[in-house]
Structure 1
Amino acid sequence: MEEPKVFISYSWTNQSHQELVKHWADRLVADGVDVILDIYDLKEGDDKYAFMETMVTDPDVTHVLVICDSSYAEKANARKAGVGTESQIISGEVYEKVKQSKFIPIVCEFGNDGEPILPAFMKSRMWINFSSSEAENENWEQLVRLLYGKPQHVKPKKGKAPTFITSDTPIPTSEAYAKFNSLKQAILQDKKGLKHYRRDFVEACISYADDLRVRERPEVESMGEKILEDCGKLKAVRNHLCDWVLLESEISDENEFSESLIDVLEKLRELKSRPAEINQWSDSWFEAHSVFVYETFLYIVAALLKSGAYKTLNEVFRSHYLIPRSDSYGQTNFERFDCFYGYSEALQSVLAPENQRLYAPAAELIKRQADREDIPFSEIRQAELLVLLMAFITPDTCWYPATLHYSSYGNGYPFFVRAAQHKNFSKLALITGISDANELRKKVKEGHERLDTERWYNFHYERNFWSSMNMDELDSIK
């Protein structure tokens, strides 16, 4: 960090003012600033005008503090005495290089009109108030930061252009985004009626996604292209819901949030079903929403893991979800979390490399759309590994971990790696409802047999995911 070198220009108004200027100079020196001041540096026999000109124009002097009081302003404006000569030099520098910030007005007095007393050539400059001891103490850090080039408020790093700028497909920024911002403010300000803000936000998201559901035969050449386009449009809803989970899971009452999240998941589940009003259809019409629900569910699980909402995750996995009317058959009215799984065979034609076949086209699309910096694709895979573990230990559920096709040897998942420590295993225990690691291992082995993971030959590096889940090491470090 470059050491600042400062010249102080002031008027010898009186002894008291001179002592005040020296006090400021001493304080700056104590803060590591190299200060040039006539009291320190001007000796008998020195040419004071040459001294002034040298200090003002010296390129090694990083800043010139102009101590502005009524005496300084009067002499500078009238070009009187030493200040007049000095101010001519300063004003020349200022006017030649308007944008440079070498010269800093330090205001010592305010006029009857409440305006700072400044010489004419300084009136357009940003100033610092040192008109009282209180003002000095309040603004001292601002001055020192300015001299060191370390301002308190720094312009943030420029981000990427918003999706609604870079995407050719419409996204629900107008309503859902506005509703999310209203909800966010309500949460942060602890407003009453939070349920109403949340309901409006969720309804805006679901309504947009529902409008994209196919209700009559699409007039398209490629159903795969249609599904790909619709998934691109639906990605904005995925992001809105993910942002909501990240925000509210850390702030709101856990029981209230869990209940609202289950309600949202039920609404998502309905989006992948056939709209009740249509009687003739093809299953491929609903594949875009099937993939969207699958993807969004993984993002929600990843967001809950990120925010440490382990009890809410337990609620998500142990809840029963109402089956939509158009999908209801027989006597069963409820499903488990595996209802959120999605697949699209039609995507094969638009995503698979030439002369190749993808093991899981939906996972390929999820990978391509994984553009969030706060929840990267690796965290989506970790979320799916957790969902798979829950499928192993939850009777009457099944899950095919499609995104784990993109894992590789030695691909450790931090949540499971850390669960070797007892304090972190307790987090996994909250999610699973199983507090004993040996009991969990037993349940997972039973799940392997039930789901017959040996048939998953397409997972070249690991078929049963025992190692990925760090099963042998769970709760081994007390």
Structure 2
Amino acid sequence: MAFISYSWSSREHEAWVLKLAEELVENGVHIIIDKWDLGKGHDANAFMEQMASREDIKKVIMICDKTYQEKADARKGGAGTEAQIISPQIYQTQDQNKFLAVLSEKDQDGNAYLPVFYKGRIWIDLSDSTNYGSQFEELVRWAFDKPMHVRPQLGKPPAYITKTDATLQLATSTHQRRAVESLRSGRSNSAIILDEYLDKLADEMGKLRLQGSGKKDFDIEVMTSIDEFIPYRDQYFEAITNAMKFGSPMENLSKIHRFFEKIIKYTYPDYSKGGWSEWDFDNLRFISYELYLGVIAIAIRHEEFAFAANFVSEKFYVGDIQDLSSMSMMDYTVFIHSLPSFEAANRRTEQRRITKVGDVLHERAKHTYFEFRHLGVADLILHIRSRVATEGFHQWYAVTPIYMGRSQSAIETFARCRSLRYFERMKPLLGVSSAQEFRERVAEIDANRQNTIPMGFRGDISIASLTGADRIATEA
């Protein structure tokens, strides 16, 4: 129930107020107003005093024009009487949401006509016909205590916050901030500053090395480590996003590539440092894998397909890593590893995930730098490319499609490839020269049952279905 307080400034103003009251009633707001509720011969001052102070009147709408402001400030007339009642309630009441000023008029300079006692408080402007609809909606929402913007439910703090003995501190924040600021401002040396940040991050990531995989529940230590890295991962994604948006992606490609070349060493044993177990590298293997996928996802989001194509085509020098020295150069499959600690976590928690790695990727994709679907497209493209030609000793295995919905239709980016022009931009990233070649390669991959992607209780799904291969480049 809402009471409308206003001044009888003119017949036109009274009609405007009455029309507003009718509109509010039509929208379910019970309105009390003198035109409807003050009978002939009744005491107007007593009515106004009662309406402004009744406990069952939960809302009071003050229609503010020049006359209302003048009478309220001078304490004259009906508006002045109501002001004497309303003003102490505004100052004293704990319910700051009971009273609201609604503007029906502003002065020649566009300033609101507001009583002195209401200065500095929020008001709604119905004086401008161009914004009347949106402002009226806000008024109705206020009447029902249903604001447009609602505070979200408080989530669970991440492990790097709640873990009392968390010690991960990487000295990269200042370098990252300088890189982002230089990219956004378009400085001529932004590529150099970005390179300095990436060098620093690569060096600092050595602090994530774990030891002692023989310990009970070592998988918990691995999961905690990758959670503690989240702030630094997000800083990295922010820097890469700004390099895509404000920098020259192709100019920065070699710097981003060299960053990954430097961190590969952390994913393999350092034989100079004594005993080790394969589990010791699981945290850094996952983090490197996530960062690599993330770069491609960011490029796909911003449709920097030429950058992504060149990025995934670049090989990495691995001759100084003992386990890989015979390879000399490797492609992106160097970031694919079996992660036994993830499988141990899957068993320990009895979650029975089809792919624990995919599950963790999905849970961690809660940031603003790209959507999970972009990560899924990147994952699927690498899956396809690795089965066509690779100089690594692994194949990339897509683990994200199971989390991308139940639809059997093509994923959005591939659906857009129905357009010949869009496909022409995408085909270097897909590693093909024509739509027909893509369809043939997909058919070849699907023919091998080992290449299908499990989708849980939905069974396997073919690459042809995920990509909509039969409709690629079929439209102008």
Residue in structure 1 matching 2:290, options 278, 287, 295:
295
Aligned counterparts of 1:103 and 1:463: Cα–Cα separation in 2: 59
The match for 1:15 is: none
The match for 1:221 is: 215
Distance 1:440 1:23, change over 3 A: same
Aligned counterparts of 2:287 and 2:201: Cα–Cα separation in 1: 13
TM-score by length of 2: 0.70
Unmatched tracts of structure 2, length 5 or more: 26-30, 108-112
Aligned counterparts of 2:408 and 2:74: Cα–Cα separation in 1: 74
Aligned counterparts of 1:59 and 1:464: Cα–Cα separation in 2: 63
Aligned counterparts of 2:202 and 2:418: Cα–Cα separation in 1: 40
* Contact map agreement 1:413 1:468 (CA 8 A) in 2: yes
Amino acid at match of 1:271: Y
Aligned counterparts of 1:160 and 1:454: Cα–Cα separation in 2: 41
The match for 2:141 is: 149
Once the two structures are superposed, what CA deviation does each residue of 1:325-381 show, in whole Å capped at 9, x if it has no partner?
23486686432222222223455445436999999xxx5245235312466777655
Residue in structure 1 matching 2:244, options 241, 249, 273:
249
Deviates more, 1:404-413 or 1:51-60: 404-413
The within-5 A match list for 1:94-105 is: 94=90, 97-104=93-100
Is 1:425–2:423 an aligned residue pair?
yes
Is 1:434–2:426 an aligned residue pair?
no
Aligned counterparts of 2:344 and 2:323: Cα–Cα separation in 1: 31
Once the two structures are aligned, what percentage of the paired residues are identical? 13
The match for 1:22 is: 13
Residue in structure 2 matching 1:367, options 335, 359, 363:
359
TM-score by length of 1: 0.69
The match for 1:53 is: 49
Deviates more, 1:142-151 or 1:192-201: 142-151
Aligned counterparts of 2:86 and 2:43: Cα–Cα separation in 1: 18
The match for 2:28 is: none
C-alpha displacement of 1:299:
3.2
Aligned counterparts of 2:381 and 2:106: Cα–Cα separation in 1: 66
Aligned counterparts of 1:102 and 1:46: Cα–Cα separation in 2: 26
The match for 2:74 is: 74
Distance 1:62 1:256, change over 3 A: farther
Amino acid at match of 1:205: L
Aligned counterparts of 1:37 and 1:128: Cα–Cα separation in 2: 20
Amino acid at match of 2:356: E
C-alpha displacement of 1:105:
5.5
The match for 1:390 is: 385
The within-5 A match list for 1:400-411 is: 400-404=395-399, 407=402
The within-5 A match list for 1:52-451 is: 52-53=48-49, 55-56=51-52, 57=54, 59=57, 62-65=60-63, 69=69, 72-75=72-75, 82=78, 85-91=81-87, 93-94=89-90, 97-104=93-100, 118=115, 122=117, 126=121, 144=136, 147-149=139-141, 154=149, 157-158=152-153, 160-163=155-158, 164-167=160-163, 170=166, 175-176=171-172, 180=176, 183-190=179-186, 193-195=189-191, 197-199=193-195, 201-213=197-209, 218=212, 220-222=214-216, 224-225=218-219, 226-275=221-270, 278=272, 280-282=274-276, 284=278, 285-323=280-318, 325-327=320-322, 333-345=328-340, 347-352=342-347, 363-371=355-363, 372-373=365-366, 380-397=375-392, 399-404=394-399, 407=402, 414-415=411-412, 418=415, 421-423=418-420, 424-443=422-441
Secondary structure in 2 aligned to 1:393?
Answer: coil
C-alpha displacement of 1:63:
0.9
C-alpha displacement of 1:249:
2.6
Aligned counterparts of 1:89 and 1:390: Cα–Cα separation in 2: 76
Amino acid at match of 1:422: S
Aligned counterparts of 1:127 and 1:245: Cα–Cα separation in 2: 40
Amino acid at match of 1:368: V
Aligned counterparts of 2:114 and 2:343: Cα–Cα separation in 1: 74
Once the two structures are superposed, what CA deviation does each residue of 1:214-246 show, in whole Å capped at 9, x if it has no partner?
5xx648524843544444444544444334444
Once the two structures are superposed, what CA deviation does each residue of 1:62-103 show, in whole Å capped at 9, x if it has no partner?
41236664553233xxxx665554334334654663424343
Distance 1:430 1:419, change over 3 A: farther
Q: Which has the larger radius of gyration?
A: 1
Aligned counterparts of 2:92 and 2:245: Cα–Cα separation in 1: 54
Secondary structure in 1 aligned to 2:387?
Answer: helix
Secondary structure in 2 aligned to 1:65?
Answer: strand
Aligned counterparts of 1:314 and 1:346: Cα–Cα separation in 2: 32
C-alpha displacement of 1:209:
1.9
Aligned counterparts of 2:58 and 2:314: Cα–Cα separation in 1: 70
Aligned counterparts of 2:79 and 2:373: Cα–Cα separation in 1: 66
Aligned counterparts of 2:96 and 2:43: Cα–Cα separation in 1: 28
Distance 1:74 1:296, change over 3 A: same
Unmatched tracts of structure 1, length 5 or more: 13-17, 111-115
Aligned counterparts of 1:310 and 1:70: Cα–Cα separation in 2: 64
* Contact map agreement 1:6 1:36 (CA 8 A) in 2: yes
Aligned counterparts of 1:93 and 1:355: Cα–Cα separation in 2: 58
Deviates more, 1:301-310 or 1:243-252: 243-252
* Contact map agreement 2:342 2:356 (CA 8 A) in 1: no
Once the two structures are superposed, what CA deviation does each residue of 1:160-194 show, in whole Å capped at 9, x if it has no partner?
35534245573767754565455444444445643
* Contact map agreement 2:314 2:331 (CA 8 A) in 1: yes
Once the two structures are superposed, what CA deviation does each residue of 1:120-173 show, in whole Å capped at 9, x if it has no partner?
xx267626699xxxx976998697565333799946535535534245573767
